[in-house]
Amino acid sequence: MSDSPAPERPLEQDVFDEWPDAVRALFDGLSLASKTGFTASLLTVDANGHVRTSLLSAGELYAPDSRTLCIALWPQARAARVVAQNGRAALSFVYGEAFYQVQLQMTPLASVAGDDSGLVYLVGSIDTAEAQSVRYARLTSGITFELQGEGKAVLDRWERQIEHLKQAAVAAGR
């Protein structure tokens, strides 16, 4: 038997079923201009077993409570069709120097009166989730973007989308 200390685990893994406070603040629908550039990947698996990815911004994600995430998708997005078929998706992103992957059970949300965006609204409950980081390297970003040209129009659209997600979540009792 050795007296040497146990080796350090290079991988830090935190499992959760409620949004950590900092992540919930990221998805609170507020101060969207300061969250421009954040990108999350919504992963789905279609009927042929192909993994499909939809990239989402903070203007398409809203957490009405600690265990839920509402998502706005364009109706032509493959993820919208796949989620309608199987009700499952995974959201992955980098935030706060960690890689997050959240397994979601998804259901559709009803349309909101006065919303002519054509967007599909979904609500997901956290099934399982984890955040991973390592001591020897610091994650500084994942997929990021810059708004160009019509940036103000995009931010205005995001504000409307988040408002519609909020209304749909309330109507669904979330």
pTM listed for this prediction: 0.86
Residue 7 within a domain:
no
Residues 90/53, Cβ–Cβ less than 8 Å: no
Structural domain for 96, as ranges: 13-171
- Please provide the DSSP assignment of the chain as one string: ---SPPPPPSEEEEEESS--HHHHHHTSS--GGGGTTB-EEEEEE-TTS-EEEEEE-GGGEE-SSTTEEEEEE-TTSHHHHHHHHH-EEEEEEEETTEEEEEEEEEEE----TT--S--EEEEEEEEEEEEEEETTB----SSB----SSHHHHHHHHHHHHHHHHHHHHHTT-
Residue 37 within a domain:
yes
Residues 110/172, Cβ–Cβ less than 8 Å: yes
Per-residue confidence (pLDDT) for residue 90, from 0 to 100: 98
Q: Residue 18 above 60 pLDDT?
A: yes
53 Cα distance to chain centroid? 12
Chain segment 132-173, per-residue pLDDT in tens: 998 888 888 888 888 888 889 999 999 999 999 999 999 999
Chain segment 45-58, per-residue pLDDT in tens: 988 999 999 999 99
Chain segment 68-87, per-residue pLDDT in tens: 999 999 989 888 989 988 99
Task: Count up the domains in the chain and report the number.
Answer: 1
CATH of residue 91: 2.30.110.10
Residue 1 within a domain:
no
What mean pLDDT do residues 100-116 have? 93
